[in-house]
Structure 1
Amino acid sequence: MSRGRMTSKASLSCLVLLFLLASGCAEHQPAPGMSGVTPVHLPDVRTPIPLEADARQEHRAVMLQHLETIQAIVAALADEDYRLAQGLTETHLGFFMHRHAMARQQPENFPPAYHDLAMAHHEAAEKLADVMPTKDLKRILPEFNNVLKACVACHLEYRLRHS
């Protein structure tokens, strides 16, 4: 390699290094709309649910399945496939799913208030399924919102204990 090329490569490497150092030390600007917002790290005060490893893994799988179902329901509604949205809601979020999930977990380790929240979630899902045949989003979306509220209420109150 010629001496000129080596000098050029060394100069380019120095420029890249200086750029990286300068950008790493530069003052970071907050994201648009976030000026004056200071991130707050609050302690997790949710009630832990003491489950053994297998039951904890099963519970996580059920929660992930609920989230995937919510996404699939939204997609079905966007496609105006109300029958699919209703079927998903009944099968994966309604009382059938609650009975199925509890049979595979350790229901005795869940606090009674958790069961109350779970039942409210499944009841909201049943009401959502009941309005799907109307194909009226002004009736469907408020019921869908109630399902999401039930999800959030439970997640705000409980967490799985990490062992």
Structure 2
Amino acid sequence: MRALVFALFALCTAAVAEDARQLAPLPPAAQEALREEMLGNVAALNEILSLVAAEKWQEAGEVAEAKLGKSAMGKHRSKPFEARPGPHMPPAMHGIGMDGHQASSDFAAAAKAGDRAKAMALLPNLTGACVACHYSYRIR
């Protein structure tokens, strides 16, 4: 029993250990805009995966391009500077985001062209940039 308590304590302590990811200090308005965008991105990924599972490649490609691809860049341009996440990000973090837009456009092109094999091979790249960024950076 004592060993179990110690193991649970060790797990809890590890869970609250200091976050080793790099802090990207964004103003509060930019943090909120980025949070809303990330929630939208997760919903878009779910929609894309649902369409792929239904073999609706054309539609999956259209959603990927419109909501995640290069066509989706610049969503925050009309906002005040302090509400725009991009200009406040470290350059490498911003670069990961740009890579994600490109990966989404690459998938979209293959899916819309009906190239199922290529689209399936590119599908993991849609989340690859998300994983890289979330494992490397934090905003709080």
Taking the TM superposition and a 5 Å limit, the aligned residue runs for 1:52-67 are 52-67=27-42
The DSSP-based 3-state class of the residue aligned with 2:107 is helix
Residue 96 of structure 2 corresponds to residue 117 of structure 1? yes
**Map of 1:107 onto structure 2:** 86
Deviation at 1:53, TM superposition (A): 1.8
Q: How far does the alpha carbon of each residue in 1:124-155 deviate from its partner, in whole angstroms, 9 at most, with x for none? A: 11110011034444321221111211110111
Which residue of the partner structure matches residue 48 of structure 2? 73
Match of 1:146 in 2: 125
Structure 1 residue 121, shift from structure 2 partner: 0.6
Q: Any gaps of 5 or more consecutive residues in structure 1? A: 1-24, 29-37
Q: Deviations over 1:25-80 (max 9, x none)?
A: 9xx8xxxxxxxxx8453531111121222211110000011111000000111112
Amino acid at match of 1:86: G
Tell me, in whole angstroms, the C-alpha distance in 2 between the residues paired with 1:122 and 1:93: 6
State the alpha-carbon separation in 2 of the partners of residues 72 and 96 from structure 1: 17
Measure the CA separation in 2 of the matches of 1:106 and 1:77.
30
Answer yes or no: is the 8 Å Cα contact 2:96–2:133 preserved in 1: yes
Specify the SS of the correspondent of 2:138: strand
* Structure-2 change in CA distance of 1:114 and 1:102 (3 Å): farther
Compute the displacement of 1:107 (Å): 2.7
Structure possessing the higher radius of gyration over alpha carbons: 1
**Residue 18 of structure 2 aligns to which amino acid in structure 1?**
P
* More relative contact order, 1 or 2 (CA 8 Å, 6+ apart): 2
Aligned residues between the structures? 127
Find the aligned partners of 2:73 and 2:137 in 1 and give their Cα distance.
17
Q: Per the alignment, do residues 150 and 103 of structure 1 end up closer, same or farther by CA in structure 2, a change over 3 Å counting? A: farther
Structure 2 counterpart of 1:157, one-letter code: S
Structure 2 unmatched runs, 5+: 5-9
Over the matched positions of the two proteins, sequence identity in percent amounts to 27
Tell me if the contact between 1:76 and 1:84 (Cα under 8 Å) persists in the aligned partners: yes
Shift of 1:108: 2.4
> For 1:120, what is the secondary structure of its paired residue?
helix
Is the 1:62–1:101 contact (alpha carbons within 8 Å) kept by the matching residues of 2?
Answer: no
Runs of 4+ in 1 over 2 A off after TM superposition: 38-43, 101-104, 133-138
